[in-house]
A and B are shown apart, each in its own frame.
Chain A
Amino acid sequence: MTTEAAVPSSPLESSPAEGLVDSAPRRKLRGAVVRFAGDSGDGMQVTGSQFTSSTALAGNDLATFPDFPAEIRAPAGTTYGVSGFQINFASEDVFTPGDAADVLVTMNPAALKTNLKDLKRGGLLIANSGAFSTANLKKAGYATNPLEDGSLDGYELLTIDITKNTQAAVKESGLSNKESNRCKNFWTLGLMFWIYGRDMAPTIDWIEKKFAKQPEVARANVLALKAGHAYGETAEISHYRYEVPKAPVEPGLYRNIGGNIATAWGLVAASQLAKLPLVLGAYPITPASDVLHELSRHKQFGISTIQAEDEIAAVCAAIGASYAGNIGVTATSGPGMALKGEALGLAVSTELPLVIINIQRGGPSTGLPTKTEQADLLQAMYGRNGEAPVAVLAAQSPGDCFYMAIEAVRLATKYMAPVILLTDGYLANGTEPWKIPDVADLPRLDVQFRTDPEGFHPFLRDPETLARAWAIPGTPGLRHRIGGLEKDYDSGHISYDPANHERMCKVRAEKIERMARDIPEQTIEEGVDSGKLLVVGWGSTYGAIREAVRRCRARGLDVSHAHVRYLNPLPRNLGDVLGRFERVLVPELNLGQLSLLLRSRYLVPAESYPKIQGQPFRIAEIEDKIRQLLES
């Protein structure tokens, strides 16, 4: 085993927050950003998630971002088949998966081609030279081998024939060459474990469970993992050994959690807290399917999952379940939302509780299924025929999906109204360490069905919330008919009366507005409550905005950050908050949808900072924008 290229020994460059502090020979780092990139068949997502688990167990704060193609198996070696996984981990608070990587692991030329731009100058580049064949170089569009032509001189290049090393390591398992090749992600993981001083045991456990039915595959993967680790020991690369100390965090029991799992668990929790069974109607769609997968594993909680024939049936089944007294939920992404529009109107008109989760992805149409975007906000607000107001919430981090899912159920059942929860592909697939809440500390959801026939009609309203009575089929003496036709305010019967229609439209709108009394006031995440510039975000941009504002404040700039989790109704004090700043900047992964809402609602000159590339904001992008506004 040899390293095939000279290894420069200059210290890694870094930015202040993600940077490295040198203490040779075993260098202590404040944190690092590592990206794994390979063919979609190379197992990079597994490598990334296992590296994440070990990093979490080591006590670092972290954030991850998987970035994979829509094709399940794009032709091997092509640039469009490249799958990536980035993790940012540190001994301090981490808000985003990081901008540029300190370390880039590339399993083939296509991965190098598509990811090199995201590696810091001087960063460590680990390349599997075994995959840099003439054919692969050609597929990636390289005329000459970049590992040999000097074009990578600006980086610390460590080339290893991972393919050959893996085959040698797993030879005794008796697997074929093709099967052995599949173990090279674990070899790579073993090397990374050595570099960052991680414990291999949890991953070995994981492999043994995962491949319990194929013991020879389990054995080969463990062999590869250990061989990669041993390679670090024996090859002369000890100057790459780093240590990232534990992050100081609030005491408690922690786990790593991704947004879709958190959403699903939030729904389970809400169902338990409300003491009501939950029915999820869903149709498989990227990136929402994991909510269906996860909920379908937890039927012991009184959860029913229906894989419906289409998006429309999925939402209709949820409405039917709500009508019959369960918590009706549907989870989807943009194209599915478009299909559900008419049924959402039915839920608005019949005033039934309904939770709709839109895990946004790049659009329009099929768009960028595996990429993230926030361009469905106006669709959530207005994407129905008629005056059809619904509540709209947005989770701001993977762990926040748990709490916002509970909040969506709380508002839907209390106000008898549809609630849309917006998350996105970045939150869905990204992960962060999450302090596990004590069940006793979760909000109580008090749900009551109407049972008293005295004076009943289906559109009798609670004077406080304006919610209509939830009277479910099977209740003696409360038989009634409801539907999508306009109803008489005083009897619930069909009504075509002009004044009644206006009254009903207004009361449905007022009901949503009254939720503003029942949601938290807007807070400032970072900074102070007045000043020159307020950066207002919503959803998954939370981490990037918060870190950017923090860095700018460290430079002495007068900037603060507010993050809006309740988009309809907006927090009752938001107008005042905005009014206390000279300028308002709204970074969003769309062409300016929240800024449009804020401008129209509060008549403030909110400045839009749009990005619509299927990728989250980099901290530096927002930082630069703030500096441009405040330093010019």
Chain B
Amino acid sequence: MSNVIQPAQLTRKDFATDQDVRWCPGCGDYSILANVQRVMPELGIPLDDIVWISGIGCSSRFPYYMNTYGFHTIHGRAPAIALGVKAANPKLSVWLATGDGDALSIGGNHLLHCLRRNLDVKVLLFNNRIYGLTKGQYSPTSEVGKITKSTPLGSTDQPVDPASFALGAHGSFVARSIDTEAQHLTMVLRRAAAHRGTAFTEIYQNCNVFNDGAFESFRSKEHQKERQLLVEHGKPLLFGEQNDKGLRLNPRTLGLEVVTLGAPDASGNVVTEQDVLVHDETNPALAYLLARMPFPEFPVALGVLFAEQRPTYDASLWEQNERAKAAQPADLGALLRSGNTWQV
């Protein structure tokens, strides 16, 4: 018999606040919020130990709608604020809600350093490839040629791919999902929650006001099967209506190629499942190839592209401090009297 009182199982409702949600009707953020509120009760973390931190932008309103601790900070700086929060209290479960402009434009530097330090925070990047809150300018993930208010002749900027950026910054967990694909998104969120270190999740999110349909070419029912590759660790990289298309590594070019099972390849050899790459989420080179596949020649890779365990910044900082405390007493008087002194 145990006297420990088990906390009541939390539900989705426990995570909702009394604030009216103020995103535009039809915004992909609603779906992300619903899925997050569905996953969080499963994690077994007390509400009081969760902190949502955000920067500026539509996505950054997120903390107001989560009945946890929340800090709506300034543009791009959420990872930097989180750095201090985790340094002060590494026990907190810290989640960041950010967007493509917040995370990759004004806050690109902080995200880079958060990833390489491996701060133990979960980063949800809502990528809608547009600036929404400032009413429709192109973003660092907008495609070349994008016509917006600030680029009436089309954007000349080369976009950045968030997942490849995260991999390049030595992120320890890099995943992708889609706002409306609840099952997949909740699976990815669970994985992110379980990861120790910076769990970077890019979520393709539709802005129905300023960039409606940005992801329809692979999100729609019509294209979903042919243009999405749902990666799973240890499973072959297969996709297509019949699940008969796969990715093969060309050892001469060190590049990927799409092959069809049972069909002859360019050299006339019939492709079998043995030829198809098996996803290994601990392989950074493979993750990079998957993140950078050109579309629509290749499908869009979704799921956990990369995950590795390595020490987190906050745990290392904490350990170092604890070692210092164990090695030397905290004697202020002794500090002030250290070195050369003289009595008058």
Contacts and interface: CB of A to CB of B under 8 A. Distances in A.
Contacts of A249: 344
A412 interface: no
Contact of A321 (B70, B87, B112, B336): B87
A249 B68 CA distance: 58
Interface in A294-315: 298-304, 306, 308-310, 312-313
B332 A268 contact: yes
A473 B341 contact: no
Nearest to A327: B88
Interface in B182-223: none
Nearest to B113: A309
B73 A483 contact: yes
Contacts of A300: 324-325, 327-330
A269 B74 CA distance: 31
B88 A279 contact: yes
A433 B136 CA distance: 62
Interface in B66-90: 67-74, 77, 79-89
A437 B333 CA distance: 8
B44 to A, nearest CB: 16
Contact of B73 (A268, A298, A316, A437): A316
Interface in A475-512: 475-485, 493-494
B113 A313 contact: yes
B342 interface: yes
B110 A309 contact: yes
Interface string B42-71: 000011110101000000000110011111
Contacts of B336: 255, 265, 269, 436-437, 439
Contact of B92 (A318, A474, A477, A481): A474
Contacts of A321: 84-85, 87-88
Interface in B249-277: none
A78 interface: no
Contact of B70 (A346, A436, A481): A481
Contacts of B113: 308-309, 313
Contacts of B79: 313
Instruction: Summarize A's interface: helix, strand, loop or mixed.
Output: mixed
Given A254-B343, A343-B74, A481-B71, A308 B80 contact: yes
A436 to B, nearest CB: 5
Contact of A473 (B48, B74, B317, B330): B48
Nearest to B64: A481
A313 B83 contact: yes
A478 to B, nearest CB: 8
Interface residues of B, number: 56
B69 A480 contact: yes
Contacts of A57: 340, 342
A385 B127 CA distance: 29
A323 B71 CA distance: 9
B321 A304 contact: yes
A328 interface: yes
A269 B87 contact: no
A343 B53 CA distance: 15
A319 interface: yes
Interface string A265-291: 100110010000101010000000000
Nearest to A255: B341
A357 interface: no
Given A312-B80, A473-B92, A482 B70 contact: yes
Which of A321, A438, A485 is the most central at the interface, judged by chain B CB atoms within 10 Å of its CB? A321
Interface in B95-112: 109-110, 112
Interface string A605-623: 0000000000000000000
A317 B344 contact: no
Nearest to A58: B342
B51 to A, nearest CB: 5
Contacts of A53: 340
A144 B80 CA distance: 58
B310 interface: no
A325 interface: yes
B234 interface: no
B17 interface: yes
A250 interface: yes
Given A301-B332, A473-B51, A479-B69, A317 B321 contact: no
Nearest to B338: A255
A253 interface: yes
A281 B74 contact: no
A482 B88 contact: no
Nearest to A53: B340
A439 B332 contact: yes
Contacts of A299: 320-321, 324-325
A216 B324 CA distance: 32
Nearest to A298: B335
Contacts of A319: 73, 81, 84
B88 A346 contact: no
A324 B73 contact: no
A402 to B, nearest CB: 9
B118 to A, nearest CB: 14
Contacts of A479: 47-48, 67-69
A59 B79 CA distance: 51
The 5 closest A-B pairs by CB, nearest first: A320-B84, A483-B72, A316-B80, A481-B70, A299-B324
Given A316-B84, A473-B89, A481-B71, 17 more contacts: A254-B344, A255-B341, A300-B329, A302-B330, A316-B74, A319-B73, A319-B84, A320-B88, A321-B88, A323-B85, A324-B51, A324-B88, A325-B88, A439-B332, A473-B69, A479-B68, A481-B19
Interface of B: 17, 19, 46-49, 51, 53, 63-64, 67-74, 77, 79-89, 91-92, 109-110, 112-113, 317, 320-321, 324-325, 327-330, 332-333, 335-337, 339-344
